[in-house]
Amino acid sequence: MYAFFNSSGNEDSVRQLLQSVSQDFDLPHKELAITYCGPNSVNKSDISRLKPEELASYIWTTRYSDESILVKLPVDLSSDQLLIEKYQSSYLGCLPNKAKRISLRSIAAQCKKIKSLEKYRKHFSLSLFVNKSTVKVDPLAAQEIDGIFSLQAKTNKPAYRLIEERIHQLREELFMAQNPFIRNF
């Protein structure tokens, strides 16, 4: 099970959190693993090779844009009431081990589309209308960018606005999809 907690950025508070969780569930300190979840925590191009905790971190930061600490517990808990009572708002939620890796990969693929388009938003916002020959695109976003250019030509709307709309649409789809993270079970 992977539990998410607010990140204070302080190394001492992370150690205290680890010790506290270890004592609460009577688990050896060495069996718990901590991963930082932030904008640059997972930077791999091939999401099919990511470990479950890396997939969880990647999805969490794309979905919620919050920095957090992921604590990997070696066992699934029957309830997270103890975490809610003890850590209150510092405990954000969890991802049970029973979450299927395939479903995490499909959610991560959606997140990757969003991140790929966000990369181009900054580039496109430099000028009102962008010429296709000036843009370098990766294979994942090439079809998406072609669609944006054809829309730009038809509507006389700047590309960065079209990208903003597409990112907004993808984020809505991501939030409409089943949320793998749970709290209060």
Q: Where are the domains of the chain?
A: 2-104, 112-174
What pLDDT, on the 0 to 100 scale, is given for residue 128?
47
What pLDDT, on the 0 to 100 scale, is given for residue 71?
85
Question: Which stretches within the chain are classed as H helix?
Answer: 11-24, 52-64, 81-87, 101-124, 139-155, 159-176
Q: What angle do the packed helices 159-176 and 52-64 form, to 10 degrees?
A: 120
- Give 68's strand partners: 6, 37
CA–CA separation, 41 vs 32, rounded Å? Answer: 18
- Tens of pLDDT, residue by residue over 136-178, are 655 556 777 777 777 766 766 666 777 788 888 888 887 777 7
- Tens of pLDDT, residue by residue over 85-142, are 888 878 888 887 777 777 788 888 888 888 777 777 666 655 545 555 555 655 556 7
The arithmetic mean of pLDDT across residues 60-66, rounded, is 76
CA–CA separation, 39 vs 18, rounded Å? Answer: 22
